[in-house]
A and B are shown apart, each in its own frame.
Chain A
């Protein structure tokens, strides 16, 4: 029997190799997967995207992603209450998945990383709270927004020892500000300021103005002078002026978060003929169409500003994960090789099949909350209390107008803030090259950004 099997294996292996060569060009392969929801989102067809999402097969281990994506699509349809319900489910799933599953860990080191349940990354979970807050604000439920803000604070303190997401802290400041809790608002704005410095982002002028306003109002003279020296602002709104006026605040979710794709090293052991494969994820590069916003009402114009770059947070998160991803990938090679050796000793043909199965199942975990925006822009328009028609203009990087939306009869009351958000997911992939990872057939070198 053994005499018969050995020649068969000698025929099968070259055939397998031929198959691999035909399907993979070279010893390093790259795989791209398109998101079926993306085109509907770009076309502002949230209902169609929702239908598509409902029809897609859902794996139990990707439950969190399903609810997160559904929440974004629902809020694009102005169904804020339902969106919050989905976000709450995703939040609970995330909390439950914090517990370690030995079964899933074993699957991750024997099959692939995607066998684990999807636990949203800390920056994604911070955005989950952020979106819930904005949903409540758009429903004029300040108490609801405040509850989520307190939960967000606990989460940020737990999960981010350094480099907190700056927009999450700014949003917290806005909620406390809208509730008239000015001390808490100042604390949140301070943390946001520190976070912007930590991630080396430009400090938004609006945040500078808020820090000056509140330190002045609360009588923190030294801190106020310190901010005055740092910011060099010509003018900023005083608290008493702001309390006499109404404020319209627009949050623009621009572009879509870059997708993760797979890059893999494929090799064959010349002695045993075994196929080996190591697959790791990498991010494509994207460019949002909308880079600027302008709010216009009567003779008042106000430019918005960039407040968050979620793509950068996604890159940083993958950088942090990469040592673990590589370690598990190498562990998988060892486990799979050992298994193939053991099976081959019993039955060579079965060994070849096992080797092929291990090769095919070696896939990178390319999952992510892909309906998240790439960046967040925010604009604030302060006007005397009255009803206004307000135009929101979305502009490209060169200042060209991309689209506009007219809101009628927006009622602004003294000391009150009206919130409005708009998703504009249009964006394009600028690069699918593996700019940030260099892979060779023997070693993986991962260059941190």
Chain B
């Protein structure tokens, strides 16, 4: 009897010890990139994806592209301007702007030119080519395509907090402005609202 009891206690001890060890170790589970995982309530990849999906669907369905092609005979060239983060959080706007660029370029309806930040490096390389590359492979200066439209925008947020509850409201506004005459040819907007409840107790 005692022998059985000792064995059961030893087994239970091993199981508990094993469980504790498992609880202490780091675990990694791969998940789908479109799976929604909200941990803190802050801006995350899901918000970024929702913004890019909404904006891409909207910008491609509006008549500004066909209007431009009918008039000029070529697809419009767009440059990404400043997208200001005026929200309460440090938000990386490059994620949804990158998504938008990719989708618009792949649609074949729009061309993107390098932004002001990217241009400097390209121009530096072109200067280097002038000095060091063969004439046949050299790219000449002054052949850049001028943008027809600039994409500008902002992210704003409103927080309403009471005790452990917080309502987070985000509004993302993107605008395409004609470089020729400052006309706004497209305005996209996405709103996201979340209710965040903080824990009242912890271990």
- Listed in ascending order, the chain A residues whose CB lies under 8 Å from chain B are 95-103, 143-144, 146-147, 150-151, 154, 157-158
Inter-subunit contact A144/B202 (CB<8 Å): no
Q: Considering the complex, give the chain A residue whose CB is closest to the CB of B86.
A: A146
Name the residue in B87, B90, B199 with the highest tally of chain A Cβ atoms < 10 Å from its Cβ: B90
Name the residue in A101, A103, A143 with the highest tally of chain B Cβ atoms < 10 Å from its Cβ: A143
Inter-subunit contact A98/B87 (CB<8 Å): no
Please, what's the 1-or-0 string for B164-203, where 1 marks a CB less than 8 Å from any CB in chain A?
0000000000000000000000000000000000111111
In the bound complex, how far is the Cα of B170 from the Cα of A147, in angstroms? 14
Point out the residue from A100, A146, A151, A157 that lies within 8 Å of B202, measured CB to CB: A100
Q: Dominant SS at the A interface?
A: helix
Residues of B within 8 Å of A103, CB to CB, are 203
In the bound complex, how far is the Cα of B199 from the Cα of A97, in angstroms? 10
Q: Considering the complex, give the chain B residue whose CB is closest to the CB of A155.
A: B161
Inter-subunit contact A102/B201 (CB<8 Å): yes
Inter-subunit contact A154/B200 (CB<8 Å): no
Given A154-B161, A158-B161, CB of A147 within 8 Å of CB of B202: no
Inter-subunit contact B84/A147 (CB<8 Å): no
Inter-subunit contact B202/A101 (CB<8 Å): yes
Inter-subunit contact A101/B88 (CB<8 Å): no
Given A99-B201, A100-B201, CB of A143 within 8 Å of CB of B89: no
Inter-subunit contact A147/B89 (CB<8 Å): yes
Inter-subunit contact B200/A99 (CB<8 Å): yes
Residues of B within 8 Å of A101, CB to CB, are 201-203
Q: 7 A-B residue contacts at CB 8 Å?
A: A99-B198, A100-B202, A101-B201, A103-B203, A151-B88, A154-B88, A158-B161
The total number of A-B Cβ pairs within 8 Å is: 38
Known: A97-B202, A143-B85, A150-B159. 9 other contacts (CB 8 A): A99-B200, A99-B202, A100-B201, A101-B202, A102-B201, A147-B87, A150-B157, A151-B88, A157-B161
In the bound complex, how far is the Cα of B198 from the Cα of A158, in angstroms? 14
In the bound complex, how far is the Cα of B202 from the Cα of A100, in angstroms? 6
CB-CB contacts below 8 Å: B82-102 with A = 84-90
Residues of A within 8 Å of B88, CB to CB, are 147, 150-151, 154
In the bound complex, how far is the Cα of B86 from the Cα of A161, in angstroms? 26
Inter-subunit contact A147/B199 (CB<8 Å): no
In the bound complex, how far is the Cα of B200 from the Cα of A144, in angstroms? 30
Q: Considering the complex, give the chain B residue whose CB is closest to the CB of A147.
A: B90
Q: Considering the complex, give the chain B residue whose CB is closest to the CB of A95.
A: B198
Inter-subunit contact A154/B159 (CB<8 Å): yes
